[in-house]
Amino acid sequence: MYRAPVSEIAFTLKQVAGMGEALEAGKFGDLGEDLVDAVLEEAGRFASEEIAPLNRVGDETGLKLENAAVTTPPGWKETYRAWTEGGWNAISGPEEFGGQGLPTMLAAATAEMWNSASMAFGLGPLLTIGAIEALDKHGSDELKGTYLEKLVSGEWTGTMNLTEPQAGSDLNALKSRAEPVGDGTYRIFGQKIFITYGEHDMTDNICHLVLARLPDAPAGTRGISLFLVPKFMVNDDGSLGERNDVFCQSLEHKLGIHASPTCVMIYGDGFAGETPGAVGYLIGEENRGLACMFTMMNNARLNVGIQGVAVGEAAYQHALAYAHERKQGKAPGWSGEGMSPIVEHPDIKRNLLTMQSHVRAARAICYACAHAIDMARISEDEDKGRWSDRAGLLTPIAKAFSTDVGCEVASIGVQVHGGMGFIEETGASQLMRDARINPIYEGTNGIQAIDLVTRKLPLAGGEAVKAYISELSAIASTVRGANHDGFGETAEALEDALDQVAEATDWLLAALADGRMEEALTAATPYLRLFGLGAGGAYLAKAGLADEGRIALARFFAENFLGECAGLKTRVTKGGASLLAASEMLESA
């Protein structure tokens, strides 16, 4: 059973990702370490004792759809309500609407715990928090006054409706339409697929954020608008009114996250009332909906990265416990009676340390991204721009590297279990099934790599990425200066890895400047992996500098995985030609 690693999370926040310095400098107002620790402790208790027991039940029971209504698994609704009553949904929400206004870093840390306990449970709040950000930043005062307080408290949930059968990652192909009524409202028509928590029984109302086109909209993404479409209309006194014309047509049968309703939503089929069309309210300006939605998507991308960390942590704990219990053979040096626990075997040690080190590296990257978001929000002038660029740079790395790590770690967890890992009763396979969606949704990891290379590297003329690499390199220099035998060859390995990151970055910036876009795109995915390994190695080393007990893990990661960076750099700078040359092999038979 999952136990929240509260002390590890607190250490990473304060000693590695930047919260400690921010608290000491008073950047978060009256927030102090005591309150941070209290929040983390209680979140860990709730995740471990209340949410984690639901995970197996949710996976095995799944969901029920009848008459367009979804019933969640036993205990789901009651636990969600207890969770909202504890104030957890409001942790980072705007204070004006009942939120606690706490840092994104703290929200990210608690989100990790919810998702480790049960990723299917943690998915619902993830979308609601994104809807809150989009509405708070772009919505009218009237819309905010009607909806934000209930969304912040968690009494109502939010969704994100982008994808359609013909329009996945390419939003140019969206066909859902919005017709102005003349009274300030719109009628929404269309079908949306893959809508997480599009229908459920945990709250009285669901607020859908829907992308659609107006009749005279320009072609492509420039002609997309964003609308808030409530499941139930809201009366002037705040009470719920009649049912809106939006319904769940079906539930997807998925590889994992079985307790998370993934819905096909129908807007405007005339199911409710005499006038067809779901009533929607414009968020932001007409034909500027994608900019509004990106506010929600950027929040979601960091949180999906957190899900990668979360499922990796759960898989590691699961595998570690099994490795101590399971006995097979006699490991070298085993002096006990009978067979030794498999944790004593070198190969199992390698697997477990691989899991632990990669999860900690990914956690640090995600928390550093959250720290940049916080600093961008509270800073001014040049500092604000610098931190905003840092958050933009780290978001695709946090999302893609961490979710790849989550899948890899969950797969290793199955391997540690051996044949029993392939059997559902151990629970190891569920974690692998659940993890697999993370590299796909909220922008596939390939799209994250493209975003990193084409949009984030050029920020501030390339100076944003160079400044970040310099900060990471300073950690390597500090390790070298520490002259601690326990680090082994960590400094050398880290310096070399970060040199590879810098050289690959320069190559990509030159390719972009020269207009060699196809070459840059062939390099995007290996470059993101290269960057993730270099940053992750630096953060593990920083943890070792702060606590000698963590040096051994930093050394293990540096000496066993940073060597991959040279090969990744070669793939970035030289791999494109062979990829393009071999493309003819992909012609349809």
In b/e form, how buried is each residue of 30-53, taking b as 16+ CB within 10 angstroms? ebeeeebeebbeebbebbbebbbe
Partners of residue 70 on adjacent β-strands: 65
State the Cα–Cα distance between residues 301 and 441, nearest whole angstrom: 9
State the Cα–Cα distance between residues 572 and 520, nearest whole angstrom: 8
Of 164, 344, 442, 519, which is the active-site residue? 442
Q: Is 247 helix (H, G, I), strand (E, B) or coil?
A: strand
Partners of residue 263 on adjacent β-strands: 195, 251
Structure tokens at 359: 């999860």
Cα–Cα separations (whole angstroms), residue 73 to 65, 194, 463: 12, 19, 50
Cα–Cα separations (whole angstroms), residue 484 to 163, 313, 425, 493: 52, 29, 45, 15
Q: Are 43 and 4 in contact (CB under 8 A)?
A: yes
State the Cα–Cα distance between residues 400 and 408, nearest whole angstrom: 12
Ramachandran angles phi, psi of 209, nearest 5°: -100, 115
* ∠ CA 79-85-86, rounded to 5°: 90
- DSSP letters spanning 25-37: TTTTTT--HHHHH
Q: Are 113 and 5 in contact (CB under 8 A)?
A: no
Q: Known catalytic residue: 442?
A: yes
Q: Are 289 and 211 in contact (CB under 8 A)?
A: yes
Q: Judge residue 126's burial from the number of C-beta atoms within 10 Å of its C-beta, 0-12 exposed, 13-18 middle, 19 or more buried.
A: buried
Residues noted as catalytic: 442
